[in-house]
Chains A and B, each alone.
Chain A
């Protein structure tokens, strides 16, 4: 069974940093790209970042480029999202998702909540 388990969310002050993790199981991790998608409370989905199977290529939304860094550890079946210079606009539920070649995401975790507030 494919499982994605996010962790690392919490309350952080404006300007602070946080590192999210997503532990994957039930599939061959190195066969898939991974994606982070976020959803502010009561709002829609926003694509944040994606990383290729080998980790050599990374992609970011304009809203997070330069502040967020996606990475993966294929030996630990885990993908990370390092977030810095956080602002209120980054408050959201952050989902990790397995991504197919055509960019669709077929399995999603349950999300980890990030709240940026003083």
Chain B
């Protein structure tokens, strides 16, 4: 159960778009459309932002979008805002019927 690979940090200026990658294997990300993304502000519980690769829960801004190609999933934040500064984690279902998280990406709004 190796963690999915995410960049440690990504930054952008207000209004810009950024993309966070999440790389796994054919046994997790590549094998299932069960990739989800979570936002976590300091001292707070994680918040679901994207589920099943590209679906947004009710109430999540449409500035957040997800995609997948092969063994790599991506989260794109468009029109970056100060409130988007947080840690982001991807997660995937696996062939062992377990789940695995990525190591997390710190997003900084310059």
Contacts and interface: CB of A to CB of B under 8 A. Distances in A.
Do A and B interact? yes
Contacts of A62: 1
Nearest to B97: A59
Contacts of A37: 46, 101
Size bracket, chain A contacts: 20 to 34
Contacts of B45: 95, 108-111
B35 to A, nearest CB: 9
A47 B101 contact: yes
Nearest to B1: A62
Size bracket, chain B contacts: 20 to 34
A45 to B, nearest CB: 5
Interface in A62-101: 62-63, 95, 97, 100
Contacts of B30: none
B93 A47 contact: no
Given A95-B45, A102-B51, A104-B51, A60 B98 contact: yes
Given A104-B48, A104-B91, 4 more contacts: A37-B101, A103-B36, A106-B57, A108-B47
29 contacts: A44-B3, A44-B87, A44-B101, A44-B104, A45-B38, A45-B40, A45-B46, A45-B89, A45-B101, A45-B104, A47-B100, A50-B98, A61-B98, A63-B1, A95-B46, A97-B46, A102-B51, A102-B93, A103-B91, A103-B92, A104-B36, A104-B51, A105-B48, A106-B51, A106-B57, A107-B48, A108-B46, A110-B45, A111-B45
Interface of B: 1, 3, 33-34, 36, 38, 40, 45-48, 51-52, 57, 87, 89, 91-93, 97-104
